[in-house]
Chain A
Amino acid sequence: MLEQQLVNGVVLGATYALFALGFTLMFGVMGVINLTYGVYFAVGAFAALWTTQALGLPIAAAVAVGALIAGVIAVAIDTLLLTRLRKAKAPELASLMVTLGATLFLYAGMAASLGTEIRRFPAAVFDGGAYSLGEVRVGATQILIFAAALVLVVALMALVRGSRIGLAIRAVAENPDAAALMGIDGALMLRVVSFLSGAIGGAAGVLVGLNFNAIQPFMGEHMMLRGFAVIIVGGLGDLRGALLAGLLLGLAEVLTAAYLSSTLKDMIAFGLLVATLWFRPMGLFGRAAAKRA
Chain B
Amino acid sequence: MWEALDDFYWTYQSLIHAIGVNGILALSVYVVLAVGQLSLGQAAFMGVGAYTGALLTVKFGTPFAVSMAAAATVPALLALVVGGPTLRLTGVYLAIATIGLGEITHIVFLNWDYAGGALGLSGIPERGGVWAIYGTLAVLLVGFTLVARSRVGRAMEAMREDEAAAGVMGVNLPRYRMTALVVSAAMAGIAGCLSAHVSSFIGPGEYGFESAVRILSYALLGGIGSPVAPVLGAAILTLLPEVLRPLADFRLMVNGLIIVLAVLFMPRGILPWRIARTG
Taking Cβ atoms with an 8 Å cutoff, the residues of A that contact B are: 33, 35, 81, 84-85, 91-94, 96-98, 100-109, 112, 221-222, 224-225, 228-229, 232, 236, 263, 266-267, 269-270, 273-274, 277-278, 281, 290-293
Contact = CB atoms under 8 A, between A and B. Distances in A.
Contacts of A224: 99, 103
**Secondary structure of the B contact surface, majority rule:** helix
B253 A108 contact: yes
A105 B100 CA distance: 20
B: contact size bracket: 35 or more
A176 B84 CA distance: 32
Interface of B: 36-38, 40, 81-82, 84-86, 88-93, 95-97, 99-101, 103-104, 107, 111, 163-164, 166-167, 173, 209-210, 213, 216-217, 220, 249-250, 252-253, 255-260, 262-264, 267
Nearest to A280: B85
B91 A93 contact: yes
Contacts of A232: 93, 96
Instruction: Give me the 7 closest cross-chain CB pairs, A-B, nearest first.
Output: A101-B259, A105-B256, A104-B256, A108-B252, A101-B260, A293-B167, A277-B85
A97 B216 contact: yes
A93 B92 contact: yes
B206 to A, nearest CB: 16
A129 to B, nearest CB: 35
A166 B37 CA distance: 33
Most buried by B among A35, A96, A97, A263: A97
Given A98-B264, A104-B259, A270-B103, A290 B96 contact: no
A98 B259 CA distance: 6
A293 B259 contact: no
A93 B213 contact: no
A92 B92 contact: yes
Contact of A108 (B84, B111, B250): B250
Contacts of A91: 36, 91
A291 B90 contact: yes
B72 to A, nearest CB: 22
A123 B96 CA distance: 38
A277 B111 CA distance: 26
